[in-house]
Structure 1
Amino acid sequence: MTVFRMPSLGADMESGTLVEWLVRPGDRVKRGDVVAVVETAKGAIEIEVFQDGVVRALIAEPGAVVPVGAPLAEIAAEGAAAEVAPAPPTPQPAVTPPKAPAGPTAAPPPQAGRVRVTPAARRRAAALGIALERLRGTGVDGAICLADLPSPAPPKRVPAGFDPAAMRAAIAAAMSRSKREIPHYYLSETVDVSAALDRLTRINAERDPPARLLPAAILLRAAALAIAATPEVNGWWEDGRFRAADGVHVGWAVALRGGGLIAPAIRDADRLALDPLMAALRDLVQRARGFALRGSELTSASITITNLGERGAASVLPVIHPPQVAMLGIGRIVVRPWVVDGTVQPRQVVTLTLAGDHRATDGHVGGLLLTRLAALLADAERL
Structure 2
Amino acid sequence: MEAGFLREWKVKPGDYVQRGDIIAEVETQKGIIDIEVFDEGIIGELVIKEDDKVPVGTLMTYIHTSEKEVEKEPELVREESKMTAVQVKEPVKQMREPVTAPVHRIRASPLAKRIAAEKGIDISKVRGSGPEGAVIREDIEKAVQEKVTQPHKEIPPPIAEEIAPPSVSVQSYTENIRMAVAAAMSRSNREIPHYYLQTKVDMTAALTWLTEANRQRSSKDRLLPAVLLLKAVAKALTDVPDLNGWWENGLQRKKDIHIGFVVSLRTGGVIVPAIHHVDEKSPDELMKMLSDIIPRARALKLRSSELADSTITVTSLGEGAVETVYGVIYPPQVALVGFGGITEEPWAENGMVGVRPVMTVTLAADHRATDGNIGNQFLTALKQHLKQPEQL
TM over 0.5: yes
* 1:28 has 2:46 as partner: no
Do the aligned residues in 2 keep the contact of 1:22 with 1:119 (CA within 8 Å)? no
Identity of aligned residues (%): 43
Deviation at 1:162, TM superposition (A): 4.6
* Number of corresponding residues: 336
* 1:259 has 2:268 as partner: yes
Find the counterpart in structure 2 of residue 381 from structure 1. Answer: 390
Match of 2:52 among 35, 47, 64: 64
Aligned 1:14-163 pairs, distance under 5 A: 14-79=2-67, 80-81=70-71, 84-85=77-78, 93-97=113-117, 99=119, 109=127, 119-129=136-146, 160=170, 162-163=172-173
Match of 1:184 among 169, 176, 194: 194
Deviation at 1:299, TM superposition (A): 0.7
CA distance in 1, matches of 2:290, 2:110: 37
3-state DSSP of counterpart to 1:246: coil
Find the counterpart in structure 2 of residue 214 from structure 1. Answer: 224
3-state DSSP of counterpart to 2:32: strand
Aligned 1:268-283 pairs, distance under 5 A: 268-283=277-292
CA distance in 2, matches of 1:94, 1:124: 12
TM-score norm. by structure 1 comes to 0.81
Match of 2:308 among 276, 290, 299: 299
CA distance in 2, matches of 1:326, 1:344: 34
Q: Structure 2: 5+ residue runs without aligned partners? A: 82-107, 148-167
3-state DSSP of counterpart to 1:331: strand
CA distance in 2, matches of 1:229, 1:260: 33
Match of 1:228 among 229, 235, 238: 238
Q: Give the counterpart letter for 1:258 in structure 2.
A: T
Q: Structure 1: 5+ residue runs without aligned partners? A: 1-12, 102-106, 131-157
CA distance in 2, matches of 1:74, 1:201: 51
Rate the CA distance shift 1:227–1:111 in 2: closer, same or farther, 3 A: closer
Deviation at 1:77, TM superposition (A): 3.0
CA distance in 1, matches of 2:131, 2:28: 33
Q: Give the counterpart letter for 1:273 in structure 2.
A: S
Cα deviation code 1:46-67 (max 9, x no counterpart): 0012322222211222212111
Do the aligned residues in 1 keep the contact of 2:129 with 2:139 (CA within 8 Å)? no
Q: Give the counterpart letter for 1:257 in structure 2.
A: R
CA distance in 2, matches of 1:111, 1:172: 40
Q: Give the counterpart letter for 1:345 in structure 2.
A: G
CA distance in 1, matches of 2:297, 2:19: 23
Rate the CA distance shift 1:17–1:312 in 2: closer, same or farther, 3 A: farther
Rate the CA distance shift 1:112–1:173 in 2: closer, same or farther, 3 A: closer
Rate the CA distance shift 1:58–1:112 in 2: closer, same or farther, 3 A: closer
